[in-house]
Amino acid sequence: MTATGYTSTTGDARKVSKTGDTMTGELVLPDSSPDSALSAATKGYVDGVAATKASTVHAASHADGGADEVTLTQDQITGLVAALAALLPKAGGTITGTLTVEGYTTLAGGQFNSDFAAFGNMTLIGTGKSVRFRRDGDGVDVEGSGAATVVSVWSGAGFTGSQRTYLRLEADQQLAQAVGAWKFCDAPFGAGHTLTGSTAGFFGATPVAKPTVTGSRGGNAAVASLLTALANLGLITDGSSA
């Protein structure tokens, strides 16, 4: 490449060969737009095209009246990530003070343990409804607010399948409603008394509906019927003889 009006000679330091040489200064191009796909473009031309493109994208992205974008450098992003990481507990870390989380929250890991003496109260607030786990004296209170509190279990993982409701605690009156079969045992999965809304069975007896005693009270028929009914409920063992 030879400057206009200058005739180069072999070995001239101001001449750059097509291959093998390296320019030591800037190459200044005419201040004009490139005419073909392979033409070199000036910095001014490239800056102008980039500014026009950015303005077009900005206008399109804010057609709905949104706010201007915030541009962060890589150093700023790195600093932001580090600052956020410092706010979160590491493995085995502890959160002190008040933690406020909006929306749905999932606690992973299989269990949730809380020492209420150290952790304090935990309140879950929804639209007009709240649930609170509160330390009260030597006990822990589980409290609902603004609506009835319902205890239910889903058959599938992730709250899928069939929902079975077992207990409903009314908010506007002191009334608890137990749903389904309730079994009262001395130990889990042991024999005990079973109550449902329409049947009952005591001491491990199969629950039966409300029995009807029949027969004449003037003879033994009514007594025999009563003994059978009580035995079916599990309240007695009929050891009488005819």
Question: Quick one: pLDDT at residue 8?
Answer: 55
Question: Quick one: pLDDT at residue 10?
Answer: 56
Question: Quick one: pLDDT at residue 168?
Answer: 94
Distance CA 81, CA 73 (A): 12
Which letter does DSSP use for residue 101 in this model? -
In a domain, 114, yes or no: no
CA distances to 3, 42, 51, 62, 175 from 31, rounded to whole Å, are: 16, 7, 17, 34, 87
Share of residues in the chain with pLDDT > 70 (%):
71
* Whether residue 205 has pLDDT greater than 50: yes
In a domain, 187, yes or no: yes
* Whether residue 94 has pLDDT greater than 80: no
Distance of CA 71 to the CA centre of its chain: 30
In a domain, 202, yes or no: yes
Structural domain boundaries enclosing 204: 181-242
In a domain, 65, yes or no: no
The token pair at 196 is 């449902």
| Radius of gyration, alpha carbons of the chain | 41
Q: Tell me how crowded residue 222 is: count the other CB atoms within 10 A of its CB.
A: 14
Q: How many domains does the chain have?
A: 1
Q: Is 194 exposed, middle or buried (0-12, 13-18, 19+ CB in 10 A)?
A: buried
In a domain, 194, yes or no: yes
* Whether residue 141 has pLDDT greater than 80: yes
- Mean pLDDT, to the nearest integer, of 105-122? 62
Q: pLDDT band at residue 178, thresholds of 50, 70 and 90?
A: very high
Question: Quick one: pLDDT at residue 89?
Answer: 66
* Whether residue 1 has pLDDT greater than 70: no
In a domain, 161, yes or no: no
In a domain, 136, yes or no: no
Q: Which amino acid is at 163?
A: Q
Question: Quick one: pLDDT at residue 116?
Answer: 56
Asked if residue 118 lies in contact with residue 133, where contact means CB atoms within 8 angstroms, the answer is: no
In a domain, 207, yes or no: yes
Q: pLDDT band at residue 4, thresholds of 50, 70 and 90?
A: very low
pLDDT averaged over the chain?
78
Q: Is 201 exposed, middle or buried (0-12, 13-18, 19+ CB in 10 A)?
A: buried
Q: pLDDT band at residue 127, thresholds of 50, 70 and 90?
A: confident
Q: Which amino acid is at 7?
A: T
Asked if residue 132 lies in contact with residue 143, where contact means CB atoms within 8 angstroms, the answer is: yes
Asked if residue 231 lies in contact with residue 202, where contact means CB atoms within 8 angstroms, the answer is: no
* Whether residue 108 has pLDDT greater than 70: no
Phi-psi region at 98: left, alpha or beta (left = phi > 0; alpha = psi -120 to 50)? beta
Q: Which of 34-38, 52-56, 92-96 has the highest mean pLDDT?
A: 34-38
Q: Summarize pLDDT for 145-170 with one digit per residue, the tens.
A: 888 989 999 999 888 999 999 999 99
